Amino acid sequence: MSILKKHALAACLATMGLMGAAHAQKAEVIHWWTSGGEAAAIKEFAAAYTKAGGTWVDTPVAGGGGAQARTVIINRTIGGDPPMTAQFNYGKQYEEIIKEGLLNNLDDVAAKGNWDKILPEKIKGQVKVNGHYYAVPVNLHNENWIWYNKAVLAKAGVTKDPANLDEFFAALDKVKATGVTPLALGGQGWQENITFRSILIATGGRDLYLKTFKNKDVSGPGFKKAVENFKKLKSYVDPGSPGRDWNLATGMVIDGKAGFQMMGDWAKGEFINANKAAGKDFGCFMAGGANSPYSIGGDVFVFPRNKAAGSAETQKKLAEMMISPAVQVAFNNKKGSIPIRTDVDLSGVDICAAQGVKAVKENRLIEGIDDLLSPDVKGAFEDAISKYWNSAQSADDVVKAVASALKL
């Protein structure tokens, strides 16, 4: 064989080999990370996967909170056209597709990566079902944060973080007096409900939260007081709120057009993406005060059973990459959340993440809503709260509506 032919054959084999590998490692990923901060964060995953020789095929489905994306993921998985991997929140959202036998488990990857040891105990409970790992956890978010623009508050004469609801309402009044919108709210059901749950915690702490969502008991003065406090916020919200996306509400705070936003720490990803620094340009505190419970929010990726050749290997590579220490740090720095591994160095994190790290150390984690309620009950509960926010319904009537939603 001539030298030329030998080279040509080698090149051809190499290309075939590469193509084979690339084909085996081609991964379609469905997620709902479409805001500026979210997109910057998932690019860390895509870049790491590409660097490891894989082909990342991004399928974002817009819609904060992910309801739209989850519908696509579940329909495609049940319909036999699953992606290689897909995003869910912690909790019961992927329970059904596990029961249907539609997910591959990650027990090999978990054993190799020592997940039993490196994951916080409560997180293990979210991703390990009947003794098998069915999802890779990628972050820890807390939904009960309050964000603010430091310059706006300074101008209004608010000199310290409100430590309780009375101080929060007083600060909102001060911002209102300067003519700036006090509270940036995206008027969509899931955002109204995050705001409500923060007020619930601010009103009655961990006990009221768990009484409501774990015991499904809204009797007594606590819950009624919480809905009244929630409705009090209405006078601090601008008329442009209905339908507004969460990241546009964060943008109002970033731009000094609003004082506060009550939102999970994915909002911090927007501040970071706009080159704003925690403690300098913006501040953060938890709705429940310094020792607030920290609700387990955040994201996992699941790996649907897939007919494509080599997909099980591809899925293992993806899971390993997502939870690897360097990727965890790079991804979470942009996402606004904290890494899910307990064995990475978190000493350099900003003042907001540091509060999260402290909450984990002090074991202040509490189950998130998606863990405590089935998707149906959660939906009915959230509809009742949104109806109350958007109508003249009385506090007594919403308490009754919520009580029957919880009985579903």
Q: Residue numbers of the site for ligand BGC (CB under 6 A)?
A: 32, 38, 64-66, 89, 141, 266, 297-299
Q: Which lies closer to ligand BGC via its Cβ, residue 38 or residue 371?
A: 38
Contact 7, 36 (CB under 8 A): no
Q: Which lies closer to ligand BGC via its Cβ, residue 236 or residue 301?
A: 301
Whole-angstrom distance, CA of residue 288 vs CA of residue 290: 7
How far CA 189 is from CA of 55, 87, 239, 244, in Å, comes to 36, 20, 16, 11
How far CA 396 is from CA of 225, 313, 388, 392, in Å, comes to 10, 55, 10, 12
Tell me the residue number closest to ligand BGC, measured at CB: 266
Q: Which lies closer to ligand BGC via its Cβ, residue 311 or residue 328?
A: 328
**CA diameter of the chain:** 90
Residue 64 Cβ, how far from ligand BGC at the closest point, in Å?
4
Whole-angstrom distance, CA of residue 313 vs CA of residue 325: 20
Residue 38 Cβ, how far from ligand BGC at the closest point, in Å?
5
Strands 258-262 and 145-149, how do they pair?
A: antiparallel
Residue 152 Cβ, how far from ligand BGC at the closest point, in Å?
23
Count of residues making up the chain: 408
Compute the CA torsion angle 173, 158, 206, 96 (nearest 10 deg): 80
Whole-angstrom distance, CA of residue 217 vs CA of residue 399: 10
Q: Which lies closer to ligand BGC via its Cβ, residue 66 or residue 187?
A: 66
Residue 266 Cβ, how far from ligand BGC at the closest point, in Å?
3
Per the DSSP assignment, residues forming a β-bridge with 338 are 140
Q: Which lies closer to ligand BGC via its Cβ, residue 64 or residue 283?
A: 64
Whole-angstrom distance, CA of residue 57 vs CA of residue 29: 6
Residue 66 Cβ, how far from ligand BGC at the closest point, in Å?
5
Residue 69 Cβ, how far from ligand BGC at the closest point, in Å?
9
**Token code pair at residue 217:** 């008991």
Q: Which lies closer to ligand BGC via its Cβ, residue 34 or residue 393?
A: 34
Residue 182 Cβ, how far from ligand BGC at the closest point, in Å?
23
Residue 89 Cβ, how far from ligand BGC at the closest point, in Å?
5
231 residue type, one letter: K
DSSP notation for 14-48: HHHHHHHHHHHTEEEEEE---SHHHHHHHHHHHHH
Residue 23 Cβ, how far from ligand BGC at the closest point, in Å?
30
Whole-angstrom distance, CA of residue 239 vs CA of residue 102: 45
Residue 268 Cβ, how far from ligand BGC at the closest point, in Å?
10
Q: Which lies closer to ligand BGC via its Cβ, residue 41 or residue 153?
A: 41
**Token code pair at residue 262:** 């009550």
Helices (H), 87-149: 95-99, 107-112, 115-118, 121-127
Q: Which lies closer to ligand BGC via its Cβ, residue 172 or residue 262?
A: 262
Q: Which lies closer to ligand BGC via its Cβ, residue 266 or residue 381?
A: 266
Give the dihedral sign, CA 3/5/10/11: positive
Q: Which lies closer to ligand BGC via its Cβ, residue 227 or residue 263?
A: 263
Q: Which among 225, 230, 223, 296 is positioned nearest to 262, based on CA atoms?
A: 230
Neighbours of 241 (CB within 10 A): 19
6, containing H or E segment: helix 3-24
